[in-house]
Amino acid sequence: SCQDDEFLYDTFPEGFMWGSATSAYQIEGAWDQDGKGESIWDRFVHDDVPHIVDGSTGDVACDSYNLYQEDVALLKNLGVSFYRFSLSWSRLIPSGDLRHGFNQAGIDYYNNLINELLANGIQPAVTLYHWDLPQGLQEHGGWLNVSVTDRFAEYSDFAFLFFGDRVKTWFTINEPWVQAVQGHGFGDFAPGINQSGILDYQAGHNLILAHARAWHIYDGKYRPTQGGRIGFNMYTSFLEPKTDNPDDVFAAERAMQFLIGWFGHPVYSQDGDYPAVMKEFVAFHSAEEGFPESRLPQFTPEEIAYVKGTYDFFGLNHYTTMLAENGLFPYAPSYIRDGEIIPSFNESWPESAAIWLRVVPWGFRKVLNWVSNEYNGVPIFVTENGYADSPDQIDDVDRVNYYTSYINEMLKAIKLDGVNVIGYTAWSLIDNFEWTAGYTERFGLYHVDFNDPLRPRTPKSSAAFYKQVIADNGFPAPPPKL
Task: Tell me the closest approach of the beta carbon of residue 317 to ligand GBH, in angstroms.
Answer: 6
Closer residue to ligand GBH in complex, CB, 23/135: 23
Task: Tell me the closest approach of the beta carbon of residue 192 to ligand GBH, in angstroms.
Answer: 14
Angle at 233 between CA 429 and CA 146, to 5 degrees: 125
The DSSP bridge pattern shows strands 457-459 and 446-448 to be: antiparallel
Closer residue to ligand GBH in complex, CB, 164/183: 183
Task: Report d(CA 325, CA 255) in Å as an integer.
Answer: 9
Residue nearest ligand GBH, Cβ-based: 356
Closer residue to ligand GBH in complex, CB, 173/217: 173
Task: Tell me the closest approach of the beta carbon of residue 468 to ligand GBH, in angstroms.
Answer: 24
- DSSP string for residues in 40-57: HHHHHHTSSS--STTS--
Task: Tell me the closest approach of the beta carbon of residue 272 to ligand GBH, in angstroms.
Answer: 25
- Picking from 64, 172, 62, the residue whose alpha carbon sits closest to that of residue 117 is 64
Residues paired with residue 315 on neighbouring β-strands, in sequence order: 233, 381
Is the four-CA dihedral 400, 403, 404, 406 of positive or negative sign? Answer: positive
The beta strand positions in 52-146, using DSSP E, are 82-86, 123-129
Task: Tell me the closest approach of the beta carbon of residue 35 to ligand GBH, in angstroms.
Answer: 25
Catalytic residues: 175, 384
- Picking from 17, 153, 172, 16, the residue whose alpha carbon sits closest to that of residue 98 is 153
Closer residue to ligand GBH in complex, CB, 70/175: 175
Closer residue to ligand GBH in complex, CB, 157/325: 325
* Cβ proximity of 163 and 12 under 8 Å: no
Task: Report d(CA 228, CA 52) in Å as an integer.
Answer: 38
Radius of gyration, CA atoms only, the chain: 21
CA distances from 178 to 174, 220, 399, 435, 465 (A): 8, 29, 24, 12, 30
User: Under DSSP, is residue 114 helix (H, G, I), strand (E, B) or coil?
Assistant: helix
The backbone torsions φ and ψ at residue 362, rounded to the nearest 5 degrees and listed phi first, read: -65, -25
Task: Report d(CA 470, CA 76) in Å as an integer.
Answer: 12
Closer residue to ligand GBH in complex, CB, 17/61: 61
Binding site for ligand GBH (CB under 6 A): 23, 26, 174-175, 178, 235, 317, 356, 384, 427, 434, 443
User: Under DSSP, is residue 468 helix (H, G, I), strand (E, B) or coil?
Assistant: helix
Task: Tell me the closest approach of the beta carbon of residue 187 to ligand GBH, in angstroms.
Answer: 11
Task: Tell me the closest approach of the beta carbon of residue 137 to ligand GBH, in angstroms.
Answer: 20
Closer residue to ligand GBH in complex, CB, 322/470: 322
